[in-house]
Amino acid sequence: MNQKEAPRQRSAGGVCYELTRKRVKNINLRIRRDGSVAVSAPRRTPFAQIDAFVAGRAAWIAEARTQVLAAEAEAARPCTVSREEALALFTEISEAVFPLFAGVLDGRRPVLKVRQMKTRWGVCAPAKRQITLNLRLAEKPRAAVEYVVLHEYAHFVHPNHSPAFWAVVARVLPDYKARRALLKAPTSAEQGKCKKEIQM
Ligand SMILES: [Zn+2]
């Protein structure tokens, strides 16, 4: 009885979903990237109970699907900024931030890279003395770009998100929370659509 059963399509409360019976303790629901709804449930849970679970969350599911599909559309949208333009912007900001961290970096500038990333605005690899920034970051307001560049530099001091790390960020940019909030502001191309949060 360890084998998974084949999924079956069901519908409840106007929601079509794919049900899989598994050795799980609870009913679990997730929205796939294509917007389809996947539910797993313990073998003995009656269909009526699973349907009620799904139907009771119909509004939440509709909202979550909108966000997932908008995030996918956003990921597929061509970037309005070229890689060269992005690197020029990031380099300019990095030059302003570098002197603050020159000590911990032994006076050597980090290598800046630009990449298309799905879930992060920036990545710091202290061992490689390297900062990778998301190409799409260059579409955001400059105040937000400055925050991300500083955030990644602060990882050369603390390679984590400890209170000490945030103290370094706050010392340089006391308004970093407002700047970070700008990363969530929709760009013109998104027309104010909801989008899944990108984490750093
Ligand atoms: Zn970080």
Q: How far does the centroid of ligand 1 lie from the alpha carbon of residue 114, in Å?
A: 16
Q: How far apart are CA 126 and CA 51, in angstroms?
A: 49
Determine the distance separating the centroid of ligand 1 and the alpha carbon of 165, expressed in angstroms: 9
- pTM to 2 decimal places: 0.66
Tell me what pLDDT residue 5 has. Answer: 67
Lay out the sheet containing 130-134: strands in order across: 111-115, 130-134, 122-125
Of the candidates 170, 166, 175, 168, the one whose C-alpha atom is nearest the C-alpha of residue 200 is 166
Could you give the residue ranges of the DSSP H alpha helices within the chain? 47-55, 58-76, 83-101, 142-154, 163-172, 176-181
How far away, in angstroms, is 111 Cα from ligand 1 center? 17
Structure tokens at 95: 């030059």
The CATH number of 83-190 is 3.30.2010.10
DSSP result, 42-86: ETTS-HHHHHHHHHTTHHHHHHHHHHHHHHHHHHHSPPSS-HHHH
Q: What's the gap in Å between 55 CA and the centre of ligand 1?
A: 38
Going from the Cα of 153 to the center of ligand 1, the distance in angstroms, rounded, reads 9
How would you classify residue 197: left for phi > 0, otherwise alpha for psi between -120 and 50, otherwise beta?
A: beta
Q: How far is the CA of 62 from the centre of ligand 1 (A)?
A: 31
Per-residue pLDDT of the chain (200 residues; tens, 9 = 90+): 455 667 899 999 999 999 999 999 999 999 998 999 999 999 999 999 999 999 999 999 999 999 999 888 877 888 899 999 999 999 999 999 999 999 999 999 999 999 988 889 999 999 999 999 999 999 999 999 999 999 999 999 999 999 999 999 999 999 999 999 999 865 434 433 333 333 33
Gap between the Cα atoms of 118 and 195, Å rounded = 12
Domain ranges of the chain: 8-76, 83-190
pLDDT recorded at residue 184: 85
Q: Are 79 and 116 in contact (CB under 8 A)?
A: yes
Q: How far is the CA of 155 from the centre of ligand 1 (A)?
A: 7
Rounded to 10 deg, the angle between the 142-154 and 163-172 helix axes is 140
Token digits for 44? Answer: 């003995």
- Expressed in angstroms and rounded, the spacing between residue 186 Cα and the centre of ligand 1 is 22
Look at residue 104 in the predicted model and tell me its pLDDT.
Answer: 96
Task: Note whether 21 and 4 are within 8 A (CB).
Answer: yes
